[in-house]
Structure 1
Amino acid sequence: MKMISMSYGQALFDLKVSKEDRQNAAKILRESEELQKALVNPTISKEEKEKVIDKLFPPEIRNFIKVICRNDDAQCLLEAFDYCEVLIQKEEQILTGTLYYVTKPEEGQLARIREYLKKEYQAEQVELELKEDASLIGGFILKVRDKVLDRSLRGKLEKMKQNLAWR
Structure 2
Amino acid sequence: MALSREEIVARYGNALFNYAQDMNALDTVKEELCELRKAVCTNPQILSVFSDPILNSDEKKKSLSAIEQDFSTEVQTFLNLLLDYNHFLELVDIIDFFNKLYNDSKKIMVGTAITAVKLDEDQLSALGDSYAKKFGLASVTLENKVDPEIIGGVILKVGDCVIDGSVKNRLKKIRAQLISKN
Tell me the number of residue pairs that the alignment of Structure 1 and Structure 2 aligns.
161
Q: Give me the whole-angstrom Cα distance separating, in 1, the residues matched to 2:79 and 2:140.
A: 30
- Segments of 5+ residues of structure 2 without an aligned counterpart are none
Q: What pairs with 1:8-23 in structure 2 (closer than 5 Å)?
A: 8-13=12-17, 14-15=19-20, 16=25, 18=28, 19-23=30-34
Which structure has more relative contact order (CA 8 Å, sep 6+)? It is: 1
Q: Give me the whole-angstrom Cα distance separating, in 2, the residues matched to 1:151 and 1:81.
A: 33
Q: Under a length normalisation based on structure 2, what TM-score does the superposition of the two structures give?
A: 0.71
Contact 2:124 2:144 in 1 (8 A): no
Residue 73, structure 1, aligned to residue 77, structure 2: no
When Rg is computed on C-alpha atoms for both structures, the one with the higher figure is: 2
Shift of 1:112: 5.4
Shift of 1:114: 3.1
**What RMSD over aligned residues (CA atoms) do the two structures have, in Å?**
3.0
The equivalent position to 1:50 in structure 2, one of 61, 70, 90, is 61
Contact 1:12 1:81 in 2 (8 A): no
Q: Give me the whole-angstrom Cα distance separating, in 1, the residues matched to 2:37 and 2:124.
A: 32
Q: Under a length normalisation based on structure 1, what TM-score does the superposition of the two structures give?
A: 0.77
Give % identity: 27
The equivalent position to 1:59 in structure 2, one of 44, 56, 71, is 71
Name 1:3's counterpart in structure 2. 7
- Segments of 5+ residues of structure 1 without an aligned counterpart are none
Name 1:91's counterpart in structure 2. 105
The Cα offsets for residues 78-116 of structure 1, whole Å up to 9 and x where unpaired, read as 111111111111111112211121224575786355324
